[in-house]
Amino acid sequence: METETFIRPNKSKRKQRSPLLIFLFLFTLIFLFYYFKNFISPSLLPLPQKSKIPIIPRPSQCNPTNRLQGKFLWYAPHSGFSNQLAEFKNAILMAKILNRTLIVPPVLDHHAVALGSCPKFRVLNPIELRYAVWNHSIHLLRDCRYVSMADIVDISPLVSYSTVRFIDFRAFVSLWCGVNFDDICSKDQTIPYPLSERLRECGSLLSGYYGSISDCLTALEDDCRMTVWTYQNDVEDGALDSFQPDEQLKKKKKISFIRRRKDVYKALGPGSAAESATILAFGSLFTAPYKGSESHIDIHESPNDPVIQTLIEKIEFLPFVPEIVNAGKKFALQTIKGPFLCAQLRLLDGQFKNHHKATFLGLQQKLESLKQTGQKPIHVFVMTDLPMANWTGSYLGSIAKDSDAFKLFVIREEDDLVQETVKEVMAAGHGLKLGSILPSSAGTNNRHHPQSLTDVLLYIEETVCSCASLGFVGTAGSTIAESIELMRKHGICSG
């Protein structure tokens, strides 16, 4: 029986690729390698995995001949401006207790760096938090948007208070890392490879990625999961804090942390291993009351140390710089022109977006009581995160329509008052005047893009609210409302 033989096509033969396609493919690979090697922003370069930590020789800035004179304190601010300001106050206190010069940080973009939840024992560890703050700070410098906390908050009374010392982050890092920040601020937002690599190495070192280095850097790993800092507290040093993770949370999250109360002076002051280090790096310095304790720092008074007690009282309220305060007063006097009520309505951020009814209720009750006085129209200054285009259908929309009973006032970012204040604040350059290092020697100048300091609107609004003679209605639980109440308590508008 004969069989038929079928000849099948040879599938092993492939179509030949065009030389042009091969050339384009290779060119693309070479271009991408060159781009990432030379121009990638350090803010896009994460810390390597801990398992890959290299053994490095002692950094040059840690050698005795290169070491900076003095002792410094650095920390990692985070979250929104009000939280950052609270941390700044705590940092001032810590720096004074430990007799260190405080490195004044920039104002970070709103929630650009997040800590996590202390009550849930779920927070970013201090090394990662410090590096995130470092990266964002370099990002702000690269974009020419850097604004120091001292450009916004007036610390001049503390500077003249001889026992408190400050240095701007830019001036410090210029000396510590040996970089000129004029080379970072760039319209095309690129940093050449040698500089970007130097910044990454410097940030890794300061963050504690390579660990603490004897006599040079102490990078603390204490955070709110394990430590509550105290000072001259009657409770035994090292005692357990009253708030601990419950057994259910321990099992669910596999938590092994135990929160202890530690005296910061005994742990990090004279006689400690940390005391000899040029730089002491904290993680977060934010704290808040929680279940009868404090989340991280429990230092409210110091009856046995009158110098620290005086400082605690001085930092309770830190006003905005004169340029911002004057802008707020100007709006109140020249635009509103008369008694007014301030309504601070936080409606879109976090937990507040689910409580619109409760937020509006306080305002409604206050306006109803003011109506009984017979004054018409009632002037109301509104600061809110709800855009005016979305007021329709809300209580704000209804009172805005009632022009006979109410006259509403708002400030917008594009208003001349805001733009002029931005220019004045940047021209003043309060941050770079800190300490004995002049801007010229620090390798910095005050170049900024027009979009710099967009948050100045918030600071002006808070000042206007402090001038509201008919009262203030704030959003319950908002740190912004707490800040305004503090400003009103200290009569910032009466001066």
Q: Residue 27 has what pLDDT? A: 61
Same-domain pairing of 154 and 244: yes
Strand partners, 213: 217
Tokens representing 216 are 């040079």
Whether the Cβ atoms of residue 407 and residue 377 lie closer than 8 Å to each other: yes
Same-domain pairing of 281 and 304: yes
Whether the Cβ atoms of residue 147 and residue 452 lie closer than 8 Å to each other: yes
Region class of 7: left (phi > 0), else alpha (psi between -120 and 50), else beta: beta
Whether the Cβ atoms of residue 160 and residue 253 lie closer than 8 Å to each other: no
DSSP assignment, residue 51? G
Same-domain pairing of 257 and 349: no
Same-domain pairing of 237 and 284: yes
Burial (Cβ within 10 Å: 0-12, 13-18, ≥19) of residue 49: exposed
Same-domain pairing of 393 and 417: yes
Domain count, the chain: 2
Same-domain pairing of 343 and 309: no
Mean pLDDT by 10 residues, the chain (495 residues): 38 53 63 45 49 65 78 96 95 96 95 92 94 94 90 89 85 87 72 85 93 93 96 87 88 85 96 94 95 94 93 94 97 96 88 78 93 90 92 91 94 94 92 62 46 78 97 91 94 82
Same-domain pairing of 205 and 295: yes
Whether the Cβ atoms of residue 149 and residue 105 lie closer than 8 Å to each other: yes
Same-domain pairing of 294 and 329: no
Query: Is 355 a member of any domain?
Result: yes
Query: Is 297 a member of any domain?
Result: yes
Same-domain pairing of 299 and 419: no
Residue where a domain terminates, one of 272, 297, 314: 314
Query: Is 18 a member of any domain?
Result: no
Q: Residue 159 has what pLDDT? A: 82
Helices (H), 342-415: 356-371, 395-401
Query: Is 278 a member of any domain?
Result: yes
Residue type, 36: F
Spatial CA neighbour of 174 closest among 191, 199, 145, 144 = 199
Q: Which residue has the tokens 């936080």?
A: 346
Same-domain pairing of 266 and 375: no
Query: Is 493 a member of any domain?
Result: no
Query: Is 130 a member of any domain?
Result: yes
Same-domain pairing of 176 and 125: yes
Q: How far apart are CA 330 and CA 153, in angstroms?
A: 19
Query: Is 34 a member of any domain?
Result: no
Q: Residue 405 has what pLDDT? A: 93
Query: Is 52 a member of any domain?
Result: no
Q: Residue 262 has what pLDDT? A: 96
DSSP assignment, residue 322? H
Model's pTM, two decimal places? Answer: 0.85
Spatial CA neighbour of 133 closest among 164, 96, 87 = 87
Residue where a domain terminates, one of 282, 314, 346: 314
Containing domain of residue 345, as a range?
320-436+449-488
Which is it for strands 122-123 and 116-117: parallel, antiparallel or unpaired? Answer: antiparallel
Q: How far apart are CA 288 and CA 297, in angstroms?
A: 8
Same-domain pairing of 270 and 376: no
Contacts of 174 (CB under 8 A, 6+ apart): 180, 181, 442, 443, 444
What single string gives the DSSP state of each residue in 424-473?
A: HHHHH-TGGGSTT--TTTTT------TTTTTTHHHHHHHHHHHT-TT-EE
Residue where a domain terminates, one of 288, 314, 340: 314
What's the CATH code of the domain at 364? 3.40.50.11350
